[in-house]
């Protein structure tokens, strides 16, 4: 089927490839003319035959909002906007409301898989009305991995549910990564296990902890067995923070996901103001003479 | 090849099947005569031709220690004991020292895979001397999953390293399970995602969080979509505790693994003494009239 | 000096007493006519001579907002509103903007001390313009504890800073309470210390952990040495949640404050959905036969 | 009364002063002849009239054990050894057993107060037989703070209970310090509160969080308002680790104390191996091009 695709960055570019390989007619727009099929969003809309489908794949926040607003002025009643970026679920609800004023439908889709999705397919979680999701199903079927549809695609609920599901997915992802990372550090710190990369590789089959993330860790250790070339500096994107916020809003204890987020915060600090305060306190009750090696008392 | 197998419980019984299916000659002993091939460990040792290999698969702690002591008196110099249970790595070091007095060799193996190992093969991590591990390799090859050996078996290091690796594996396992569990609870608590089991099933392919544990969660939710039939009561075995102890001994921060362990402790408490103390404090500064709904002040 | 006081609940009632004892002329209003000096906020405003000062002491959220809106219509340019409840700092900024349209000034004050403040004085943290805070200083001096002003009162910053400081104060409070509570539970769980309440009382003087909260814990244990009469069920008010939200907004790791908040969430759950999921996972890989006592594998 | 005091370091030296000021006859020994009253432990024992009391105040572990062993050979049945250092409670039990072979009695005392104890008195928690503790009470009364005995001294239980109580005290201390430290960092990171040291000083009176540790934090901020002269590098002594180990042994969730310990571990790491692993994972699924700023996917 025919669709417009706004945003041809790392994710969007690959998705256009995968969609075209599945036989879909994709008109792509990007600010970067080297990859764009058209000169503007307006031209993209013009090239589509109604009722249109336009997939947005730009950074969340202002860029997505501006694209929605632009499309609100260009599309017609009955057209469908699919927001496939990493929007917050509350933004989806606002976007849908704005577009609904002009009779334009809205579906939000959480897309997982990273750069590997181009080859493996993307895990998809959609939010919106059933009829809108049904209408876009050929697109979802082209993007999702091979195999039973329900193992790579879900209609998670009403508008916002797709990105809510993706948000929680990413929160879980933080926790999984941190769990492997702690295990890696402990194995490395102790001198009992002398073949750390080999040991982790041996978890690839048969064990309880086998997973795709483990496979990636094995790949990383194949390239750099002690990870000496990397700094332990880790960014976080919105989803981890939103997951913790939502856990607080719903009074759900999420110690693992939150600890994973805090570990990232700490990884980016040159020095910890909190630990300065602890050091100051120990110095105060331990005496000036023990400033650097003060013992508890 | 020929080997003795002491302990034919849930794990040992399946392993005997898998070893026999691979053509090995297994003499199994268990206290339960219904599953045992011989009447005693002594008879088991007698039936083996030297140099013998005896695999121990009984509960860790006293039962394993008693079996090692019994074998120390029955086996001969050059025989090999493989401890495949869940021993603590320090117990391995003690076991190896005891057997070495009689010239008996010792290898410890961490075995992962649970009841699924019978079909899928078991992930194996071994500790000991290279020549002893090489000698037992046909057994390991029969037990491990199909595929490249290094993806299901590792020689992790000297005696103790196999169980150390398994200990850390289980610590990671705690963290992974807790991460999925927190995500499940948050999805369930919020009303944004209305199709929780379908959403989690859709993570099975293509996503970053896909894993064998996720597949098991999908299975569990297929059977009981809201997990209403289960209590949130979770035991812990030694490995999680030992992982945290070792992280402390090595000054490695393991907030995720530890939070997962503490969540299990809390799951088993009828009421929390700590939270009684917090309630008491709030009552004290909030006034007796607000005992049940006191606000911070 | 003269002031109006809207809200004569547990906190406001005591504050009126303390202010009057210091010689101030307080006109109090409350929905409860038994404690109110006037019949309405309008009458309260009428009774004050301009330029007026009105202190708000009602629950945060809608009640505070409605009171601010009502006062916006009743007060005159140059009058001063002091919000002494537990408002979120962002609400203060909105309140100040609303009142500023009519030339009415705004100061927010975080008030700590609970029911004990009536006797001991209240710790105060104020946000707003210096001239407004200076103007209200006789009120603050009457409310704060005896001793140097700077040990019980601070001008924390611009509008919102008073409640921000109080928010962080309460976040710390969560952490302090949880620390004592964990220590209490560990002492109680172990059989090494046989005189737990006596031991905790002995921390009252000379030790590093001595504090007012410890004194309250001693009081509570004097009344009920094993806290048998209390349930370990603990509410949370907004400040703890806001503290964690703000720590996320500022990428500040706050593991202790957050763990304290999560412990409260968990204390209110009949059963933990997350731990149901962990139990389900262990059941899946451990086999149906071991549903209740499954071991890791 | 008369007593020997082995160990005249920071703590022991001050304690000798305080004991002498109370009229006790103290014979002190230290390896450092500048502060020692006698040339050897043997001479110290000789100078005491039986039945003797000898207080040990040397570093825990080997130094304490060696002193106990030396005293076992020098003292006589009916003499009393008081171990006032930071021994692990299990060491106390071993020490008492060793001395009991010669009829020598043993009491362990946890001593809190740091350098301030010289002036304020020390908080004391004792373990041992009631008659032995009663016998040493004049010493405890001289060391503890003024005020009711039960507010600065407790007989916590049998041998080991004194140091167990001190261990838990220090675990709580970790949590308290971390709670204040997190609050300090959040106040500093946000731009809402502009007068951070003044705000914290204002918590000194009337608030719920007032404490001796808060007073020390105020002192530290008086000297260095932004703590710029300190590194956020914090050692830990044994008690924090033992507290977590004991919480695991007793299945007591202690998330706050443990998080405080882990924060100290992390403060001493140049770079975090765990966060290297997380960075490696993100790099793997985010693509090489995004190594430094990879987003979740």
Measure the N-to-C terminal CA separation of chain D; round to a whole number of Å.
73
Q: Quote the pLDDT of residue B289.
A: 35
**Nearest neighbour of A286 by CB, restricted to D114, D181, D188:** D114
* Mean predicted confidence (pLDDT) in C183-209: 98
Q: Are D211 and C212 in contact (CB < 8 Å)?
A: yes
Distance CA D248, CA D246 (A): 5
Asked if C152 lies within 8 A of D253 by C-beta distance, the reply is: no
Instruction: Tell me how far apart the terminal alpha carbons of chain B are, to the nearest angstrom.
Output: 73
Distance of CA D83 to the CA centre of its chain: 14
Known catalytic residues of D are 166, 173
Say if A208 is an interface residue toward chain C (CB within 8 Å). Answer: yes
Contacts D120 to C, Cβ<8 Å: 205-206
Q: Do A204 and B152 touch (CB under 8 A)?
A: yes
User: B244–D241: do the CB atoms touch at under 8 Å?
Assistant: no
Chain C hits for A254, CB-CB cut-off 8 Å, are 262
Find chains touching chain B: ≥3 CB pairs under 8 Å. Answer: A, C, D
Measure the CA–CA gap between A174 and B208, rounded to whole angstroms: 10
Residues of A in contact with C263 (CB under 8 A): 253
Q: Residue D127 gets which letter from DSSP?
A: E
Out of A170, A183, A259, whose CB is closest to B172? A183
Q: What is the DSSP string of C272-297?
A: -HHHHHHHHHHHHHH-GGGTTTPPP-
* Binding-face residues of D in 244-283 toward C, CB within 8 A: 246-247, 250-257, 259-260, 262-263
- Please report the domains of chain A, with CATH numbers, ordered by start residue: 2-157 (3.40.50.720), 167-268 (1.10.1040.10)
Using CA atoms, how far residue C1 sits from A269, A294, C26, C51, in Å, is 49, 51, 8, 11
Judged against a pLDDT cut of 90, whether residue C66 lies above it is answered with: yes
Q: What is the DSSP letter of D272?
A: -
State which residue of chain C sits closest to B255, comparing Cα positions: C255
pLDDT number for residue C290: 33
Q: What is the pLDDT at residue D115?
A: 87
**pLDDT tens by residue, A44-101:** 999 999 899 999 999 999 999 999 999 999 999 999 999 999 999 999 999 999 999 9
User: D195 touching A, CB under 8 A?
Assistant: no
Write out chain B residues lying below 8 Å of A169, CB-based.
183, 203, 207-209
Which helix (H) or strand (E) element contains residue D29?
strand D25-29
Distance (Å) from the alpha carbon of A266 to chain B's nearest alpha carbon? 12
Chain A residues near residue D265 by CB distance under 8 angstroms: none
CB contact under 8 A, B125 and A214: no
From the number of C-beta atoms within 10 Å of its C-beta (0-12, 13-18, 19+), residue A127 rates as buried
From chain D, pick out residues whose CB is under 8 angstroms from the CB of A295: 86, 235, 237
The pLDDT tens digits of the residues spanning A175-231 come to 999 999 999 999 999 999 999 999 999 999 999 999 999 999 999 999 999 999 999
Provide the pLDDT for residue C287.
61
- Cα B285 from chain centre: 46
CA distances from D125 to C85, D57, D65, D116 (A): 41, 15, 20, 17
Q: What secondary structure does DSSP assign to chain B, as a single string? A: -EEEEE--SHHHHHHHHHHHHTT-EEEEE-SSTTT-SSSSHHHHHHHSPSSPEEEE-S-TTHHHHHHHHHHHHH--TT-EEEE-S---HHHHHHHHHHHHTTT-EEEEEEEE-GGGHHHH--EEEEES-HHHHHHTHHHHHHHSPSS-GGGTEEEEESTTHHHHHHHHHHHHHHHHHHHHHHHHHHHHHSSS-S-HHHHHHGGGSSSTT-BHHHHHHHHHHHH-TT-TTS-S-----HHHHHHHHHHHHTT---HHHHHHHHHHHHHT-SS-HHHHHHHHHHHHHH-GGGTTTPPP-
Q: For residue A287, what pLDDT band results from cuts at 50, 70 and 90?
A: low
- Alpha-carbon torsion D58, D59, D60, D63, what sign? negative
CB A185 within 8 A of CB D275: no
- H or E element: which one contains D68? helix D62-74
Question: D128: left (phi > 0), else alpha (psi -120 to 50), else beta?
Answer: left
Res. C294: pLDDT tops 60: no
Q: Which of residues 34-73 of C touch D (CB under 8 A)?
A: none
Q: Does D286 sit within 8 Å of A181, measured CB to CB?
A: no
| D288 Cβ contact list (under 8 Å, min separation 6) | none
How far apart CA D108 and CA D126 sit, in angstroms, is 6
Is the Cβ pair D211, C214 closer than 8 Å?
A: yes
Q: What is the pLDDT of residue C291?
A: 39
**C-alpha dist (Å) from residue A127 to A3, A86, B255, D164:** 19, 13, 34, 55
Neighbours of D (≥3 Cβ pairs closer than 8 A)? A, B, C
Cβ distance C124 to D171 less than 8 Å, yes or no, reads: no
- From chain B, the residues in CB contact with D245 under 8 A are 245, 248
Q: What is the pLDDT of residue B50?
A: 87
Q: Which chains touch C (3 or more CB pairs under 8 A)?
A: A, B, D
Q: What residues are paired with B253 via a beta bridge?
A: none
CB B275 within 8 A of CB B266: no
Q: Give the residue from C83, C71, C9, C14 showing the smallest Cα distance to C46.
A: C71
A114 touches chain D (CB under 8 A): yes
Closest chain D residue by Cα to residue A11: D297
Q: Are A248 and C241 within 8 A, CB to CB?
A: yes
Annotated active-site residue C173? The verdict is yes
Average pLDDT for chain C? 95
Cβ of residue A172 closer than 8 Å to a chain C Cβ = no
Residue A291 has pLDDT above 50, yes or no: no
pLDDT digit string (tens) for chain D, length 297 residues: 999 999 999 899 999 999 999 999 999 999 999 999 999 999 999 999 989 999 999 999 999 999 999 999 999 999 999 999 999 999 999 999 999 999 999 999 999 998 899 999 999 999 999 999 999 999 999 999 999 999 999 999 999 999 999 999 999 999 999 999 999 999 999 999 999 999 999 999 999 999 999 999 999 999 999 999 999 999 998 999 999 999 999 999 999 999 999 999 999 999 999 999 999 999 998 863 333 433 344
If residue D154 lies in a helix (H) or strand (E), which one and from where to where? Answer: strand D153-157
SS3 category, D3: strand
Backbone angles phi, psi at C185, to 5 degrees: -65, -40
| CA distance to partner chain A, nearest, from residue C63 (Å) | 21
Q: Which residues of A are catalytic?
A: 166, 173
State whether residue C222 sits within 8 Å of chain B by CB.
Answer: no
Best CA proximity match to B178, nearest among A249, C253, C266, D280: C266
Q: Residue B195 and residue C105: Cα distance in Å, rounded?
A: 50
C210 contact A CB<8A: no
D240 interfaces chain A, CB cutoff of 8 Å: yes
Q: Which of C232, D252, C269 is nearest to B265 (CA)?
A: D252
In angstroms, the separation between the Cα of residue D105 and the nearest Cα of chain A is 25
The catalytically annotated residue of C173, C198, C223, C229 is C173
The separation between CA D2 and the C-alpha centre of its own chain, rounded to angstroms, equals 26
Residue in chain C closest to A236 (alpha carbons) equals C251
More confident residue, D296 or C74: C74
Please state the three-class secondary structure of chain A as a single string.
Answer: CEEEEECCCHHHHHHHHHHHHCCCEEEEECCCCCCCCCCCHHHHHHHCCCCCEEEECCCCCHHHHHHHHHHHHHCCCCCEEEECCCCCHHHHHHHHHHHHCCCCEEEEEEEECHHHHHHHCCEEEEECCHHHHHHCHHHHHHHCCCCCHHHCEEEEECCCHHHHHHHHHHHHHHHHHHHHHHHHHHHHHCCCCCCHHHHHHHHHCCCCCCEHHHHHHHHHHHHCCCCCCCCCCCCCCHHHHHHHHHHHHCCCCCHHHHHHHHHHHHHCCCCCHHHHHHHHHHHHHHCHHHCCCCCCC
Substitution target from B280, B288, B293 for chain C, most C beta carbons within 10 A = B280
Of C111, C181, C287, which is closest to B274 when you measure between CB atoms? C181
pLDDT at B237: 86
Other Cβ atoms less than 10 A from the Cβ of A230: the count is 20
Angstrom distance (rounded) from CA D240 to CA C191:
19
A19-43 pLDDT tens trace: 999 999 999 999 999 999 999 999 9
Q: Radius of gyration over alpha carbons of chain B, in Å? A: 23
Average pLDDT over residues C120-135: 98
Following DSSP, what letter does each residue of chain C receive, concatenated?
A: -EEEEE--SHHHHHHHHHHHHTT-EEEEE-SSTTT-SSSSHHHHHHHSPSSPEEEE-S-TTHHHHHHHHHHHHH--TT-EEEE-S---HHHHHHHHHHHHTTT-EEEEEEEE-GGGHHHH--EEEEES-HHHHHHTHHHHHHHSPSS-GGGTEEEEESTTHHHHHHHHHHHHHHHHHHHHHHHHHHHHHSSS-S-HHHHHHGGGSSSTT-BHHHHHHHHHHHH-TT-TTS-S-----HHHHHHHHHHHHTT---HHHHHHHHHHHHHT-SS-HHHHHHHHHHHHHH-GGGTTTPPP-
Q: Give which of A240, A248, A284 to mutate to test C binding, by max C Cβ within 10 Å.
A: A248
**Biggest CA pair distance of chain A:** 80
**For the segment D153-177, what is each residue's pLDDT rounded down to a tens digit?**
999 999 999 999 999 999 999 999 9
Closest Cα in chain B, distance from residue D162 (Å)? 21
Rounded mean pLDDT of chain D? 95
Q: Flag whether residue A202 sits within 8 Å of chain D, measured between CB atoms.
A: no
Q: Which residues of chain B have pLDDT under 70?
A: 287-297
């Amino acid at each position: 089927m025919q669709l417009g695709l706004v945003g041809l960055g790392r994710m969007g570019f690959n998705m256009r490839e995968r969609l075209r390989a599945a036989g879909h007619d994709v008109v792509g727009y990007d600010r970067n003319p080297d990859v764009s099929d058209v000169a503007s969003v307006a031209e993209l809309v013009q090239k589509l035959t109604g009722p249109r489908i336009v997939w947005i794949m730009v950074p969340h926040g202002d860029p997505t909002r501006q694209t929605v607003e632009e499309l609100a002025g260009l599309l017609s009643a009955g057209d469908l906007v699919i927001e496939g970026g990493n929007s917050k679920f509350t933004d989806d609800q606002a976007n849908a409301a704005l577009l609904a004023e002009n009779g334009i439908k809205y579906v939000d889709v959480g897309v997982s898989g990273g750069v590997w999705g181009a080859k493996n397919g993307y895990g998809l979680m959609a939010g919106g009305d059933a009829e809108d999701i049904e209408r876009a199903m050929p697109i979802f079927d082209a993007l999702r991995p091979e195999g039973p549809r329900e193992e790579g695609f879900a209609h998670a609920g009403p508008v916002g549910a797709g990105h809510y599901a993706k948000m929680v997915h990413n929160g879980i992802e933080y926790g999984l990564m941190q769990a492997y990372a702690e295990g890696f550090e402990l194995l490395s710190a102790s001198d009992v296990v002398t073949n750390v990369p080999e040991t982790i590789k041996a978890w690839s089959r048969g064990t309880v902890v086998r997973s795709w993330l483990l496979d990636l860790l094995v790949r990383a250790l194949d390239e750099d067995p002690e990870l000496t070339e990397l700094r332990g500096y880790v960014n976080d994107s919105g989803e981890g923070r939103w997951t913790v916020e939502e856990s607080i809003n719903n009074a759900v204890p999420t110690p693992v996901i939150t600890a994973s987020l805090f570990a990232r915060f700490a990884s980016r600090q040159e020095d910890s103001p909190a630990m300065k305060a602890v050091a100051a306190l120990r110095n105060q009750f331990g005496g000036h003479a023990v400033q650097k090696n003060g013992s508890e008392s």
